[in-house]
Amino acid sequence: MKKMIATLLAAVLGIGTLSGCSADEIAYLDLAREMISADGAEFSGKSEIMVDLDGVTDMVQDVALAGFANEQRAAAAETLAQMSGKKTVSVAYEGKMDTDTLDTYLDFSVTYEGKTYDFGGVYYSLVNGIYVSADAVGSAMEMMALLSGETDSVYMSNAYQSELKSALDGVEYIQIMSAEDLSMLGMQSMDARSLYDSAMDLYLNAFEGFSTGMITKNGNTYRMQFNGEQVAKLCVDVMYYIAENLDDVLSALQEYMSEVGTYMQMSDEEIEAAIRELEEVKLMGEEGKESILYLADELKALLESADAAEAMKLLQGLSYDSTLTVNDKLYTANETLQFVYEGQKIFSMQSESQTRLTGVSLNVPAKAMRAERLMEVMAELENKYNPVVAVNLEYNKGVAAEDDYAFAQFVRGEESIFANDGWDYFNYVISEDRLYLPLRSICEGLGEEVEWDGAAKQASVATENGSVPMSGMIVNDRTYIKVRDFEKLGYTITFDSQSDEFVNYVTITK
């Protein structure tokens, strides 16, 4: 039952933290209803994010490392010293949305270190999937290289970029997720207007008479303003309100669950069970109320305690201020989020945007490269320009059982920007104290081409000087060869059986 109360609190806190049910707050929330009720919308805007890394370093050393030993602080300080200066990222975007289907198009670019990276367009459709512009591939890679400080990476070489561009020639969009993929993630078609109406009913029925004081209205302009300390204290106020109005809150939640449970991918049985659990909390009466009051008192005491003084000081430095002006069907918003520590602004985000309610037409790309094909192209290029140069193997000492596996790390010349150095595992054989490994698993990981002569039941590896026969044993239709036989292909084999009592280590190096 306590778990149910905790779940209840989490749900309503998420709803009631930043807005209440005063006249200004309800009018502000109704703006979203107006937007959803329109046929569509066109929008544009820009955001600028600034991080002062020197200030972040000072704050981390003062606060996060305060309880660390001197040696730990020194090591952390050395790492933090590599972070310096102010970094600014700007994002500009424009797009449109069909509010009936929720189909959305977004075109955006990112400016960093004085250079603008064009990511092109992104289409989102529950019926057709998600598509990104092919231009986004190169821009994303270039930005990642700049952020990681690896601008001289093979991925940024003229040869690599030229082949990538050639492989994507004529490709306008890449489908990164299909409608089936979205469905598997729980994203499905929905009636946004009905969902919003249900959420508003929940809000108004559960929080009637409650106000945060964070939203005010002046003419046709709404303003939301708060800091982190106010939000923390508001959580306490919400909990007290829930305790004093528990029946109303629970009844509103029951109605909400019955209306939107299916959109949360809950079965009828799960919806009914959730409603019954809420009813059980209602039947607790004073016990339920006292449980919530106890939690509210505990949280209030914690926020007012000396132990929380430093945290409250940090929360005071976090502030948010926004305005939203409505002029017929045009909505103009300005937002500022910032964090100040010891009088120094170490983070800020400033945004401005315009949204115009109007009918829109969206044409989702009819033809696009599938994400799987893009991954194949990227893998081919990576194997060519950043091949695997070594395989690190680990396997148990003693006779190999059927369910024993050797773990292999395929190490590239430089770290891949797409994923960490690849790991794989496969069965191995110990015969006469010799290690046998699956030929194809190792060779293909190293970029070698394995050939098979079915009539002779002979495996070989193609090299510049012709095919090299690789004989061993066949187990479950797979060819296993002695690890030393990789030396025939020019590899160096290194054994380490001393470092670990239970595990042997082998390295195969080009």
Residue 75's pLDDT is 65
- Measured over the CA atoms of residue 229, residue 235, residue 241 and residue 243, the dihedral's sign is negative
Residue 321's pLDDT is 97
- Which of 309, 170, 224 lies closest to 27, judged by CA? 224
Helix 228-244 with 2-16: angle, nearest 10 deg: 130
pLDDT tens digits, one per residue of 271-312: 888 888 888 888 888 888 898 899 889 999 998 998 888 888
Residue 368's pLDDT is 92
3-class DSSP assignment, residue 291: helix
As a whole number of angstroms, the distance between CA 333 and CA 350 comes to: 11
Say if residues 29 and 214 touch (Cβ distance below 8 Å).
no
**170 phi-psi bin (left φ>0, alpha ψ -120 to 50, beta other):** left
Query: What value, to the nearest 5°, has the Cα angle with vertex 397 and ends 396 and 399?
Result: 95
Residue 360's pLDDT is 92
Domain-wise residue ranges, the chain? 1-39+190-319, 40-51+82-98+103-186+328-370, 387-509
Say if residues 450 and 459 touch (Cβ distance below 8 Å).
yes
Where residue 508 falls among pLDDT bands split at 50, 70, 90? Answer: very high
Q: What's the mean per-residue pLDDT of the chain?
A: 86
Say if residues 368 and 65 touch (Cβ distance below 8 Å).
no
Does 453 have pLDDT greater than 50? yes
pTM over 0.85: no
